[in-house]
Amino acid sequence: MLNETERAFLVTSLPFFQKLSPSEKKVLLQHAGSTAYRKGESIHSADYKCLGLLLVKSGSLRVYMMSEDGREITLYRIYPGELCILSASCVLSAITFDVYIDAVDDCELIQISSSAISLLMHDNIYVEAFANKAAAERFSDVMWAMQQILFMSFDRRLAIFLLDESASLGTDELKLTHEQIARLMGSAREVVTRMLKYFSQEGYVELSRGAVRLTDKAALRRLASQA
C-alpha cells in the first residue's frame, strides 16, 4: 500500500490518471506499492517475472541489453519522476526483446502490477495510448544507443557520455572507474583507458583514482558535435 505522499506523487506522475473512471482509479491504487533497491542491485532481467510499470521516486535506473558473451549495452537511464515502461513489456505485444534494469543509486520506486496495467490498457484507450507512446519513445532511445555503437567514433561517444553524466549529476567530477564507464558504454576497459589517457593529454579531463574530472567541457562539446 502507498502512503499519502506516495499516492500524490503517483497521481501527478501519471498523465492518464484523470482519464480513469473511479473504479479504474481504485484498481490502479490497489495494485500499486512502493519498493526500494540498493545501488547496483538487479531489478529486472530476462529471468525475472514481468514487474509492471515502474515510477522512480528517488535515485536512478539503468536499462540495458546483454549479449551472449556478457557484454552490456546501456540503452538509457531513468530519473526521478520518470516511468519505466519496458519493465511491463509482457503486456506490450509489440515488444519482443528482453532488457535488464539495475539501480544506479539507492532508489525508491512505485510499482504498478502488470495485471493492473494489462486490465487498464484493455478497458481504457487513454492508458493504451500512453503505453504505446511511452514504448515508442523508449524505442527511439534504443535506436539512438545502437546508432552510437554502430556508426559513431569512440572518442565522440566518450565525449557525449562524459557530458551527459556531468549534466545529469550536476557536477564536473564523475566518481566512476574505467571499468564502470566501459560497462555503461558497452565497451572494453582497455579502450576506455586508452581514450581517457588521450583526453587527459589534450587537457579535456583530469584523471584520478576512481574519478574523472571534466576540465575543458567546451572542447568535449566540440568533439561531441562533430559529424
Please say whether the beta carbons of 35 and 27 come within 8 A.
no
pTM of the predicted structure, to 2 decimals: 0.77
**Do the two domains 4-149 and 152-225 of this chain adopt the same fold?**
no
Handedness of CA 44, 45, 48, 50 (dihedral sign): positive
CATH class of the domain defined by 152-225:
mainly alpha
Q: Write out the chain's pLDDT in tens, 227 residues.
A: 899 999 999 999 999 999 999 999 999 999 999 999 999 899 988 777 788 899 999 999 999 988 777 778 888 889 999 999 888 877 776 666 778 999 988 999 999 999 999 999 999 999 999 998 998 888 888 888 888 888 889 999 999 999 999 998 889 999 999 999 998 888 889 999 999 999 999 999 999 999 999 999 999 999 999 86
Adjacency order of strands within the sheet including 100-103: 42-44, 100-103, 61-66, 72-78
Please say whether the beta carbons of 185 and 64 come within 8 A.
no
Q: pLDDT value at position 95?
A: 65
Q: How many residues does the chain have?
A: 227
Please say whether the beta carbons of 116 and 131 come within 8 A.
no
Out of 2.40.430.10, 3.90.1150.10, 2.60.40.1180, 2.60.120.10, which CATH number does the structure's domain 4-149 have? Answer: 2.60.120.10
Q: pLDDT value at position 96?
A: 62
For residue 96, give Cα distances in angstroms to 92, 121, 126, 144, 170. Answer: 8, 18, 23, 18, 35
Query: Residue ranges per domain, the chain?
Result: 4-149, 152-225
Q: How far apart are CA 168 and CA 176, in angstroms?
A: 14
Q: How far is CA 209 from the centre of its chain?
A: 26
